[in-house]
Chain A
Amino acid sequence: MNNQLHFINEQWQWPALGIAFLLLLLFIWTAWKGSFNRGFFVNSTVGVLAVIALSFLFLRPTRAAEVSGSALLLTQGYTAEQFDSIKKQLNNVKVIKYNTGVDFSSSTDSIGQVTILGQGLRDFDFWQLEGIPTYYIKGDMPKGIVKLNYPKQHRMGDLLFINGVYHQPVLGNRLVLQSSSGEGLDSIVFDSDENFRFKFDSYPKTSGKYIYQLTEKDSAGKILDSSPLPLMVLKKQVLRIFISNQSPSFETKYLKNFLSEEGHELVVRSQITKGRFKFEYFNTPRSALYNFLEKDLKKFDLLILDTDTFLSLSKGSKQSITNVIRAYGTGVFVQPNEALFRTANGMVDFGFERDGKDEISTFNKTKVQLEKYPYAFEDKKANGIVSENYTYGLVLGKGRLSTTVLTNTYQLVLDGKSASYREVWSKIIEGATRPQEAAGVFETSDSFAFQDTPYSFTLRTVLVKPVVQQSDDYSIPLIKDLVLEDTWHGTTYPVQKGWQSLAVQGDTSLVMDYFVMDTIQWKSVIGANTILENSRVFNPSDTLAVNRKITSEVSRWGFFLTFFCAMAYLWLMPKLKA
């Protein structure tokens, strides 16, 4: 491409050529003196030269030239030692200082290679080094929290975990998780001085938008640093559950009580005798369900069947259940008994292996010993999902078929450990149940949103032409993904601090709330992420091999002089001859 002739006014190429042709004809005509003599050829040639020079003067040709200059891009966190040693190695190096979001691309025009020192460029500034061979020399990891992992959206009633890594903490200092009003919720004392891993847990007490704080205090309790931790706590969603048992059991009785008291819609079917059932409806109107029909079952988010029911399903019922799992994503949970582990069923093979252990210890907040069947899940299947260490599910189409190895969990309630019981069954139910199908989802790879800093997001939706609006009603332009047709990318530039939202026009359920904070917050996390990102993007083996060429305009003085001389010749020569 660089070998081809290019013009700055390329769009005028054809009109210019036309005019040049006419001018050429004019010159030839004026040169014609009735014979093809020497004067005609000389004058025509000079005329051609004049026309070409004039055309180039107007079209402004360009040429590609290899550039060899090098530059040092100094970013946040570079060290003076690094700078001095690099400068010594590279002669006549140009030093550019990087400020987040500021355009420095004009400084790199004649630069053939850039070396970045320090933490590097923020991802939204990468475009400025596009096409320039770049070498990245990693800066020191910033002091402070360098890794942070927590869900930005959390469901009420679940335990919230916040974990991360603190780089080079001061021994004896404390990291405290606080509410927005400064109430301490959890804390940890630094006891290792390199990379200190911390983990906090807390139960948010209400739904809504929270701003937790991660505060570092010294041993005297003086606040050294505090960073906001925005969190959306969502209300719990009511589930529609169908329980079918062939015989009453304590397990079902306690499970039924637990779920119904939490407000879930529950239909419990217990068989009294052949063809006769006892139906209990909790928080839902009566609607007897004698046969497992697809149209009835698809209304439920979860079907809980005891092993006897599960093993004695008719062919039609099996088909219906399989269909609702695959097509509608309904979850099926099988309450186990010994028969489930021993008997093969036509629907699913969970893959158990006997481990001979009768007890299991949970990894939950309340650590308890639970009674279990002496079996364990093989967990060799690609579509198998182990949730906790006591429940296992197999993905079938959109849904999931799961079971547990636990038995007699109601004993926990009898022993007064109802919190543990609730925790165990909450995990099981949530792992097994069908999630509500959403029309789309907002995703973002940015850890936090900062004021006057680009905030990129991805929208995945079934909508054909989604329009995303900010909380101030401005629409944000979206770019469709090249490969995935349901994926759209967008970037917003938050101006106001505080809670903001992105919403899809015409669909109130598709909303993303994000908290915009000051750019001075979370510098260490952003710094650490920038280092990782720069290390990944500016890989020297890829970039240094290519020599950079830049395209520049050919000086027009030459064309002007040629044109001037040609015109002078054509004007002077007849006069001199005369």
Chain B
Amino acid sequence: MTAAKSIIQKTLVKWRLLRISEIMLIALGVALLVYFTSYNFWISTGIFLLVALLTVLWGKLWQYGRSDVCIHLDNTVIEMEHSTSLLLEPQNKLSLLAKIQQSKMADAIQDNKNQIRLKHNLWRNFIIAAVCVGLGVFLQNSGFLDFSSAIPSGIPKKDAITFTPLDTLVANIVPPEVISRSITVSYPFYTEKAAFTTSELNLEVLEGSYVNWTVGFDKNIKEAWLQFGSDALSMDLKNDFYVKEMRAKSSSFYTLKFLDSLGNVYLSNLYALEVYADEPPVVTMNDLPQFSTFEVDSPQELEFTTNITDDFGIVDIAIIATVSKGAGESVKFREERLAFDTPFQKGFKASELRKKIDLQTLKMEPGDELYFYVEVKDNKEPKPNITRTETYFSVIKDTITDVFAVEGTMGADLMPDYFRSQRQLIIDTEKLIAEKFTLKNKDFNLRSNELGFDQKALRLKYGQFMGDESEAPSAPKEIGEATIPEDMLDDYSHKHDGNNEHNLVAEEDDGHQHDNEAAEGTEEDPLEAYVHNHEDPEASTLFAKSLRSMLKDAMSEMWDAELYLRLYEPEKSLPYQYKALKLIQEIKNSARIYVHRIGFDPPPIKEDKRLTGELKDIKGFSKTEELEREEVYPKMMEALGLLELVLSGKGGLSENDRFILQAAGDELAVLAIAEPSAHLNTLQAIKWLSESKQINVDKVNTVHAGLLRALPEPNPVPSGNNRYQGKLNQLFLEALETNE
């Protein structure tokens, strides 16, 4: 009987174990799911207990007892004949039959104990638990629910700021962690761009932007700094957050450093603050050749489109056009600001503008030239970026221009026009001779006389070069009809604009009274502009002399030419005119040679001192210069030597050594900005070494190798050496010399 009761009891225990296992599997599965998503042990333990409790309550497990086992046995084991419960009854309370049945059942249960089967859902629950765990792992890896306990603020783990304690002597301390950080970048006002906030610490900001760092820690800390090179900017504590705002002026690297309540200093990795400049506007001219020419009788219109883009907006666009009239000394310039035909809105970032320039509206005439370019200003403050296009040229062809160049290779034609009029006179004279038989005698004489007058005017003009005093040329009054202009030289010289004074010879009034000195041609010598005298007596004596003599010859030829013209014998005048022309040509050539010789101004030589052998006024000269060679990266070199000693096992780094490393870091930062990929690791390691009181061999190696790479290869330099001249050496050298 006891054995039968024991079987029932064991069955009950087995049942309970099965139920508990089922509950545990479910609870464990849910708890692991929570753990994988939260990374919090306590939360998952709580969940575990909660689920277990709920399941127990739901299943009401405590209500299940031996009588329930009996019912189960009655239902599952036929041999028990629905009498299992009898086994639990005390014998004295049973009837005889019941006792017989109880006895029979006691035997039956022992015979059939192997047939007892308890239903369970272990496999189902195991699968549920496995699914929960799988889901948890999936969620954790997929990052859907990636909020680990380390960064509860939502900062992805990979982006968390890694702080390295500078003093690792204190072991087993949990460092304060950054639980929130935000960097707000406010663009300069003129950009009209909204500020943005990011948690990314490597920043790329526009020059002049304000950058605001806000960092929150999970524990109280004493102080926090933003460290730019060797400058540590203390952060202000505002509402539990450390805040610092600064204006981005130039690219640099920074680290976040803080001092915790225990007095330990922590340093973050190095982050880049890259500052980019406001780009100047980009202007593209379409459909416009650099040079364009127009015929006089064709439409003179210039049409083009311009594409303008800028990163933050354009405030001003203009076409700056310059019209030049005339040639040589008489050229005149007129500048105009033209607007585009397409209206533009201030502040636009990209636009295509159209313009049609009608040269006629600019009052351009044949031979006139138009130069223009487009100027665009962006909205940058305080100083806008200005872009100018290339200059474009447009010319209205002048069909009557007689191009004369003194020298093809010369940059500018410096010869005044009246040097050319001798040729004109010859042409006119030849024309007169040719027309001699068709003209009336009177007309012929008149024209010959006029030509004579022109010849005289020309001669007088040359006379000015010679410094000759001359009376105003008077009209050939005896002929009478000819109208004499007020300034007869108008035909030979060009009136010119004040703008181009530098190109021109100063004109004199006809009635100008020269004093004797002026007559010598020393003060107002018109040739001065050409000979570049510079008060150089040597140059002036040698060069001007030959020019003068040639001019004199030319003038005497002109005299003869004028004489025959006055005598109405142009045929006889012509040879003299040719001779004069030839001489003038030679003068031009001399002038050209002179132009080529400009550029070397020999030192003044006093004539009376030459070749006298007198040295008393010649003085010695001395100068002193300090050119101490400066190393480009002195601190980097010093730091390299320091680390070399550290690597050879010679102790650690002193306070002064760390200062040197910091200075080396500043030098390297300049290189790192230009080439971050090459030097950023080194810079980061230098930062760590310069701040930490510990030595990390890996970091020392990184810095050493990095500095070695960054330093330029030294140039070969001569240097002195040390030598010990021993007695033996001396004897040897003496013996050598004696034997030689």
Contact with A along B548-587 (1 / 0, CB 8 A): 0000000000000000000000000000000000000000
The residue in chain A whose Cβ has the minimal distance to the Cβ of B733 is A395
Is A441 touching B615 in the complex (CB atoms < 8 A)? no
Question: Does A352 sit at the interface, judged by CB under 8 A?
Answer: no
Question: Does A3 sit at the interface, judged by CB under 8 A?
Answer: no
Stretch at the interface among B17-25, B390-398, B463-471, B624-632: B624-632
Contact with B along A284-322 (1 / 0, CB 8 A): 111010000000000001000000000000000000000
Residue of A159, A382, A461 with most partner-chain B CB within 10 A: A382
Q: In whole Å, how far is B612's beta carbon from the nearest beta carbon of chain A?
A: 12
Stretch at the interface among A23-31, A49-57, A272-280: A272-280
Is A396 touching B615 in the complex (CB atoms < 8 A)? no
Is A262 touching B718 in the complex (CB atoms < 8 A)? yes
Chain B residues 685-732 with CB under 8 Å of chain A are 700-702, 704-705, 708-709, 711-728, 730
Which residues on the A side are within 8 Å of B704 (C-beta)?
A: 179-181, 183
Question: Does B740 sit at the interface, judged by CB under 8 A?
Answer: yes
Is B716 touching A422 in the complex (CB atoms < 8 A)? yes
Contact with A along B613-626 (1 / 0, CB 8 A): 00100111111111
Is A206 touching B628 in the complex (CB atoms < 8 A)? no
Stretch at the interface among B118-126, B493-501, B592-600, B637-645: B637-645
Chain A residues 145-179 with CB under 8 Å of chain B are 155-159, 179
Which residues on the B side are within 8 Å of A183 (C-beta)?
A: 704-705, 708-709
Stretch at the interface among B239-247, B424-432, B473-481, B647-655: B647-655
Is A159 touching B727 in the complex (CB atoms < 8 A)? no
Question: Does B541 sit at the interface, judged by CB under 8 A?
Answer: no
Question: Does B483 sit at the interface, judged by CB under 8 A?
Answer: no
Question: Does A519 sit at the interface, judged by CB under 8 A?
Answer: no
Given known contacts A260-B625, A278-B620, A279-B620, what 15 new A-B pairs fall within 8 Å (CB)? A157-B714, A157-B715, A179-B708, A207-B637, A237-B720, A276-B619, A279-B621, A280-B624, A283-B625, A398-B730, A430-B718, A430-B719, A436-B720, A438-B722, A498-B650
Question: Does A259 sit at the interface, judged by CB under 8 A?
Answer: yes
CA distance A206 to B723 in the complex (A): 22
Question: Does A108 sit at the interface, judged by CB under 8 A?
Answer: no
Contact with B along A207-218 (1 / 0, CB 8 A): 111110000000
Q: In whole Å, how far is A418's beta carbon from the nearest beta carbon of chain B?
A: 8
Q: In whole Å, how far is B715's beta carbon from the nearest beta carbon of chain A?
A: 5
Q: In whole Å, how far is B719's beta carbon from the nearest beta carbon of chain A?
A: 4
Question: Does A426 sit at the interface, judged by CB under 8 A?
Answer: yes
Is A485 touching B727 in the complex (CB atoms < 8 A)? yes
Question: Does A47 sit at the interface, judged by CB under 8 A?
Answer: no
Question: Does A515 sit at the interface, judged by CB under 8 A?
Answer: yes
Question: Does A425 sit at the interface, judged by CB under 8 A?
Answer: yes
A contact patch SS? loop
Q: In whole Å, how far is B704's beta carbon from the nearest beta carbon of chain A?
A: 4
Q: In whole Å, how far is A255's beta carbon from the nearest beta carbon of chain B?
A: 10
Is B624 touching A286 in the complex (CB atoms < 8 A)? yes
Which residues on the A side are within 8 Å of B712 (C-beta)?
A: 205
CA distance A263 to B718 in the complex (A): 10
Which residues on the A side are within 8 Å of B620 (C-beta)?
A: 272, 276-279, 288
CA distance A157 to B628 in the complex (A): 16
The residue in chain B whose Cβ has the minimal distance to the Cβ of A421 is B716
Tell me whether A239 and B719 are in contact in the complex, defined as CB-CB below 8 angstroms, given that A206-B637, A279-B621 are known contacts.
yes
Contact of B648 among A279, A434, A515 (CB under 8 A): A515
Is B619 touching A279 in the complex (CB atoms < 8 A)? no
Q: In whole Å, how far is A535's beta carbon from the nearest beta carbon of chain B?
A: 28
Is B719 touching A206 in the complex (CB atoms < 8 A)? no
Is A278 touching B621 in the complex (CB atoms < 8 A)? yes
Which residues on the B side are within 8 Å of A485 (C-beta)?
A: 727
CA distance A273 to B615 in the complex (A): 8
Tell me whether A397 and B720 are in contact in the complex, defined as CB-CB below 8 angstroms, given that A209-B645, A262-B629, A498-B649 are known contacts.
no
Question: Does B611 sit at the interface, judged by CB under 8 A?
Answer: no
Q: In whole Å, how far is A497's beta carbon from the nearest beta carbon of chain B?
A: 7
Number of A-B pairs, beta carbon distance below 8 Å: 201
Is B615 touching A276 in the complex (CB atoms < 8 A)? yes
CA distance A437 to B726 in the complex (A): 10
Is B627 touching A156 in the complex (CB atoms < 8 A)? no
Q: In whole Å, how far is B357's beta carbon from the nearest beta carbon of chain A?
A: 47
Contact with B along A395-420 (1 / 0, CB 8 A): 11110000000000000000000010
| Cβ contacts A to B, 16 pairs, < 8 Å | A157-B719, A180-B647, A236-B720, A274-B615, A278-B620, A278-B621, A278-B622, A283-B626, A419-B716, A435-B720, A436-B722, A439-B724, A461-B724, A484-B726, A499-B648, A515-B648
Which residues on the B side are within 8 Å of A280 (C-beta)?
A: 622-625
Question: Does B438 sit at the interface, judged by CB under 8 A?
Answer: no
CA distance A561 to B623 in the complex (A): 103
Contact with B along A197-228 (1 / 0, CB 8 A): 00000011111111100000000000000000
CA distance A181 to B700 in the complex (A): 8
Is A261 touching B629 in the complex (CB atoms < 8 A)? yes
Question: Does B739 sit at the interface, judged by CB under 8 A?
Answer: yes
Nearest 10 interchain pairs by C-beta: A157-B717, A237-B720, A208-B641, A435-B723, A181-B704, A236-B719, A429-B718, A279-B622, A441-B724, A183-B705
Q: In whole Å, how far is A348's beta carbon from the nearest beta carbon of chain B?
A: 11
Which residues on the A side are within 8 Å of B722 (C-beta)?
A: 435-438, 441
Is B714 touching A156 in the complex (CB atoms < 8 A)? yes
Question: Does B287 sit at the interface, judged by CB under 8 A?
Answer: no
Q: In whole Å, how far is B733's beta carbon from the nearest beta carbon of chain A?
A: 6
The residue in chain A whose Cβ has the minimal distance to the Cβ of B642 is A208
Contact of B721 among A262, A282, A435 (CB under 8 A): A435
Q: In whole Å, how far is A460's beta carbon from the nearest beta carbon of chain B?
A: 5
| Size of the chain A interface, CB-CB below 8 angstroms | 80
Which residues on the B side are within 8 Å of A208 (C-beta)?
A: 640-641, 644-645
- A interface vs B, CB < 8 Å? 155-159, 179-183, 203-211, 236-239, 259-264, 272-286, 288, 301, 329, 381-383, 395-398, 419, 422-423, 425-426, 429-430, 433-441, 460-461, 484-487, 497-499, 515
Which residues on the A side are within 8 Å of B728 (C-beta)?
A: 484
Q: In whole Å, how far is A365's beta carbon from the nearest beta carbon of chain B?
A: 8
Q: In whole Å, how far is A13's beta carbon from the nearest beta carbon of chain B?
A: 45
Contact of B717 among A181, A279, A426 (CB under 8 A): A426
Contact of A211 among B637, B647, B700, B727 (CB under 8 A): B647
CA distance A274 to B618 in the complex (A): 10
Contact of A438 among B622, B645, B701, B723 (CB under 8 A): B723
Tell me whether A438 and B714 are in contact in the complex, defined as CB-CB below 8 angstroms, given that A263-B628, A282-B625, A499-B648 are known contacts.
no
Is A157 touching B727 in the complex (CB atoms < 8 A)? no
Is B624 touching A285 in the complex (CB atoms < 8 A)? yes
Tell me whether A262 and B720 are in contact in the complex, defined as CB-CB below 8 angstroms, given that A276-B619, A286-B622, A398-B725 are known contacts.
no
Which residues on the A side are within 8 Å of B726 (C-beta)?
A: 460, 484, 486-487
Is B648 touching A180 in the complex (CB atoms < 8 A)? yes
Contact of B723 among A238, A383, A436 (CB under 8 A): A436
Which residues on the B side are within 8 Å of A426 (C-beta)?
A: 716-719
Chain B residues 627-683 with CB under 8 Å of chain A are 627-629, 637-638, 640-641, 643-645, 647-650
The residue in chain B whose Cβ has the minimal distance to the Cβ of A261 is B627
Contact of A263 among B629, B648, B649 (CB under 8 A): B629
CA distance A283 to B627 in the complex (A): 6
Which residues on the A side are within 8 Å of B624 (C-beta)?
A: 280-282, 284-286
Is B716 touching A159 in the complex (CB atoms < 8 A)? yes
Is B708 touching A181 in the complex (CB atoms < 8 A)? yes
Question: Does B542 sit at the interface, judged by CB under 8 A?
Answer: no
Which residues on the B side are within 8 Å of A180 (C-beta)?
A: 644, 647-648, 704
Question: Does B736 sit at the interface, judged by CB under 8 A?
Answer: yes
Q: In whole Å, how far is B685's beta carbon from the nearest beta carbon of chain A?
A: 11
Which residues on the B side are within 8 Å of A260 (C-beta)?
A: 625, 627
Q: In whole Å, how far is A238's beta carbon from the nearest beta carbon of chain B?
A: 7
Tell me whether A205 and B640 are in contact in the complex, defined as CB-CB below 8 angstroms, given that A278-B621, A281-B623 are known contacts.
yes
Residue of B618, B623, B722, B724 with most partner-chain A CB within 10 A: B724
Is A205 touching B713 in the complex (CB atoms < 8 A)? yes
Contact of B628 among A211, A283, A460 (CB under 8 A): A283
